[in-house]
With several copies, the nearest count.
Chain A
Amino acid sequence: MAAPVQSPVRTETEIQKLTIGKALNLGLRAAMEADDKVLMMGEDIGRLGGVFRITDGLQKDFGEHRVLDTPLAESGIIGTAVGLAVRGFRPVCEIQFEGFIFPGFDQIVSQLAKLHYRTQGRITVPVVIRVPFGGGIGAVEHHSESPESLFAHVPGLKVVSCSNPVDAYWMIQQAISCDDPVLFFEPKKLYHSGALKQPVDTTSTPDPLFASRSLRSGTAATLVTYGPSVKVCLDAATAAAEEGTELEVIDLRSLSPLDLGPVFESVRRTGRLVAVSEAQSESSVTAEIAARVQQECFYSLEAPVQRVTGFDTPYPPAKLEEHFLPDLDRVLHAVDNALAW
């Protein structure tokens, strides 16, 4: 069992308004201050501070042996992180964009996910892999994908995603202090969103890492989602409320293990569920949600679980991404379908 995350002792103002990006940066800094076994590894994370500047300033303050600009190879990053973890370090790897995680897939599936099980607990591999993910940034190929379902299918890994600055600040620290390997999916298009800025109280006690959370309660239907789509669902709920339809919105936060208790509870009240994700639908997390909800809430469901997801195509050229990504209209359309059932 990992030690609970302690609020770092900080002299500066305790409560700042932060973006998700800055909250992650401060969370990483706090984790590095709290435990000198915490290392950062990745491409361009040192002097450049990462292409998204999430590790900005860390190499300057903690040195080149704690913030490593690694050679350009993802299997190498993850494979050496595993070895460092065996040695007692707590490496935090940054994958520059989610589309580049695949060269490291074997290390994740065959080593990272299995070492603890294989050795019946004699070895722990507390490695965090930070993955900026999702679309909507007008980027070229491989820079806008949502591969999280692949990792949710792999036993031995834990998979989480944050959707707001407070969670970003705490969840990254909790992931780092978790003794299991954690895939940490960060909604890249929201990194520097001023609109999402929140006051982050660095002295408060965070919610548990692997728990979902209801963000808005409602009676007509339930929306369940994570990461970048949380904002879409909240906006949809606001729009629906204007027309008198109250939607409940649940942020999963953890994709593996799934914490579906609050979803079941909600569906038992609303009778309708829409699962939303940018990822393709086939054999995905939203499929798992539908499968488990129909199992657990069979008699409560008044309509089938609806899914609003990316299409089962590769991510299209970004000029078309507004069509590909679930938006407010598609979410409300699905709600209408569920209500009309």
Chain B
Amino acid sequence: MSSPEQWTRPEPGAGPAATAAQPSPEQVIAGLRATAEGGTELTQLLTPEGERLPSSRFDPYLDDVDDEALRNLYRDMVLVRRADRESNAMQRQGQLGIWVPLLGQEAAQIGSGRALKPQDMAFPSYREHGVAYTRGVDFKELLGIFRCTDHSEWDFAGHGIHPYTIVIGNQVLNAAGYAMGQRFEGKVGDDDNAEATICYFGDGATSQGDVHEGFVWASVYDAPLVFFCQNNQWAISEPTERQSRLPLYQRARGYGFPGIRVDGNDVLGCLAVTRWALEECRRGNGPVLIEAFTYRMDAHTTTDDPTRYRLSDELEVWKHKDPIERVRVHLARTGAAEQEFFDEVDAEADRFAAELREYCFAMPDPPPERIFSEVYADPSPVLDAQREEYLAYLGGFADGGER
């Protein structure tokens, strides 16, 4: 497989020089302000300093979150970050064609993912490794997409998480349809088995027509659907200002359903707000839009070079808001965890990453027949003939011909 470097970056010296403008000081300040502050309407239950803020509205949704539960959330975030970093490194070593880092978005993904019940369904975009993890998908199962051996093949119905989607925003309509189906089947209501759907997309995606149509459909059909927008401030090189004049959660106001902005780096905030939103949906008051205000700490993907369009100052500001660090501080300060616990989690993360690494290096290439398999559920004679012809042609090489 050719390295993606080759196509998004010219050979050294060969391609166009990096002549992108450096931002002006005013732009830097404006950028910092715009991306670093969530605004007064930001829901936050755990501050960057690890302080737990009470909330009469959302605390009831954290009733069951005791010290152990909080330690588990911490552990979840450490594990997925570690697996994310390992995958990123493996891409650099040529083991993956590309990697899409979630660094910085652990709280948004673990918090919202852990809010789901087994019967709920999640529709991810392509960065939701943390969500997939909370749905019980083995991290290893994600690698095929990025090693380019498959396009998503886990047990979608079993885990309650749909395949990754790369075309920006178009999974939102699929999620709306799925949630309509939950309602049509009578799965919305007061009993414990009531269901809901959550759909993930980014700040950039909000501009797509399909996301709008998803808002229209879900609202008109009262679908039990939580729109979960991870506003990580950037759509590749474009800041959120290129997509909207207003904070994105306010988009919901035009459709007549609630929109709320939560600190996307606050795992408790994300857990509580998403639980609330899912509960609303399960009871028939959907849809709900959540904007998780967070930050993409790494490049867009391993082929991206963020130094061309944003300054490290911004990154530095966001480092102080790290989603994991604040939980660690809180756990330590409240005595809910000792150093031993943190060490154990780190060790576990190392094992987790090592296993992932080992698995990845041993991943086999798919056989050529895979090209032709499952194009259709019912067979197509035309395609069958193409397969036979190609395999016979390949066989010709095996029987002594060279290739």
Which positions in A face B, CB cutoff 8 Å?
1-2, 19, 21-22, 25, 39, 43-44, 46-49, 51-54, 56-57, 59-60, 65, 69-73, 75-76, 78-89, 91, 99-100, 102-103, 106-107, 110-111, 114-124, 126, 136-143, 155-156, 158, 178-180, 188-189, 191-192, 194, 197, 210, 256-259, 282, 311-314, 316-320, 323-324, 329-330, 333
The reply to whether B213 and A179 contact each other, CB–CB distance below 8 Å, is no
Q: Show 30 A/B contacts (Cβ-Cβ < 8 Å), sorted by A.
A: A47-B237, A47-B308, A49-B18, A69-B238, A71-B242, A73-B213, A79-B170, A80-B173, A80-B174, A83-B181, A87-B178, A91-B177, A106-B167, A111-B170, A116-B374, A118-B152, A118-B163, A121-B374, A122-B155, A123-B163, A138-B148, A140-B97, A155-B375, A158-B380, A180-B376, A180-B377, A317-B148, A318-B97, A319-B1, A319-B147
Contact flags B161-185 to A (C-beta < 8 A → 1, else 0): 0110111111111111111111011
The reply to whether A53 and B309 contact each other, CB–CB distance below 8 Å, is no
Bound: A233/B214 CA distance, A: 44
The reply to whether A117 and B375 contact each other, CB–CB distance below 8 Å, is yes
B247 in the interface (beta carbon within 8 A)? no
Residues of B within 8 A of A81 (CB): 177
Residues of A within 8 A of B365 (CB): 319-320
The reply to whether A86 and B162 contact each other, CB–CB distance below 8 Å, is yes
Residue on B nearest A83 in the bound complex, by CB: B177
Residues of A within 8 A of B214 (CB): 76, 79
Residues of A within 8 A of B376 (CB): 116, 156, 158, 180
The reply to whether B19 and A60 contact each other, CB–CB distance below 8 Å, is yes
Of the candidates A59, A82, A88, A155, the one having the most CB atoms from chain B within 10 angstroms of its own CB is: A82
The reply to whether A137 and B11 contact each other, CB–CB distance below 8 Å, is no
Closest 6 CB pairs of A and B: A83-B177, A79-B173, A87-B181, A80-B177, A138-B1, A318-B148
The reply to whether B2 and A138 contact each other, CB–CB distance below 8 Å, is yes
Bound: A214/B231 CA distance, A: 52
The reply to whether B149 and A257 contact each other, CB–CB distance below 8 Å, is no
Q: A56-B19, A80-B180, A106-B210 are in contact. List 12 more A-B contacts (CB 8 A).
A: A22-B16, A51-B8, A56-B18, A72-B204, A72-B243, A76-B176, A76-B210, A78-B173, A83-B174, A84-B177, A119-B151, A318-B97
Residue on B nearest A19 in the bound complex, by CB: B14
The reply to whether B144 and A317 contact each other, CB–CB distance below 8 Å, is yes
B136 in the interface (beta carbon within 8 A)? no
Which of the residues B97, B177, B373 comes within 8 Å of A87, measured between beta carbons?
B177
Of the candidates A72, A87, A118, A191, the one having the most CB atoms from chain B within 10 angstroms of its own CB is: A72
Residue on B nearest A110 in the bound complex, by CB: B167
The reply to whether A311 and B210 contact each other, CB–CB distance below 8 Å, is no
Q: Give min CB distance, A102 to chain B, whole Å.
A: 8
The reply to whether B378 and A2 contact each other, CB–CB distance below 8 Å, is yes
Which of the residues A47, A137, A143, A197 comes within 8 Å of B2, measured between beta carbons?
A137
Chain B interface size band reads: 35 or more
Bound: A162/B23 CA distance, A: 35
Which of the residues A21, A158, A317 comes within 8 Å of B15, measured between beta carbons?
A21
Chain A interface SS verdict (over half) = loop
Residue on B nearest A55 in the bound complex, by CB: B16
Residues of B within 8 A of A39 (CB): 184
Q: A79-B176, A142-B167 are in contact. Are A53 and B16 (CB under 8 A)?
A: yes
Contact flags B190-226 to A (C-beta < 8 A → 1, else 0): 0000000000000011011110011011001000000
B236 in the interface (beta carbon within 8 A)? yes
Stretch at the interface among B108-116, B327-335, B381-389: B381-389
Which of the residues A47, A76, A87, A123 comes within 8 Å of B182, measured between beta carbons?
A87
Which of the residues B148, B163, B209 comes within 8 Å of A75, measured between beta carbons?
B209
Which of the residues B9, B216, B371, B403 comes within 8 Å of A76, measured between beta carbons?
B216
B65 in the interface (beta carbon within 8 A)? no
Q: Give min CB distance, A92 to chain B, whole Å.
A: 14
The reply to whether A194 and B181 contact each other, CB–CB distance below 8 Å, is no
Residues of B within 8 A of A320 (CB): 365-366, 368, 370-371
B40 in the interface (beta carbon within 8 A)? no
B4 in the interface (beta carbon within 8 A)? yes
B390 in the interface (beta carbon within 8 A)? yes
Which of the residues B8, B157, B185, B374 comes within 8 Å of A52, measured between beta carbons?
B8
Residue on B nearest A309 in the bound complex, by CB: B386
Chain B contacts with A in 1-53, Cβ cutoff 8 A: 1-4, 6-11, 14-21
Residues of B within 8 A of A103 (CB): 167, 170, 208-210
Residues of B within 8 A of A119 (CB): 151-153, 156, 163, 374
The reply to whether A188 and B237 contact each other, CB–CB distance below 8 Å, is no
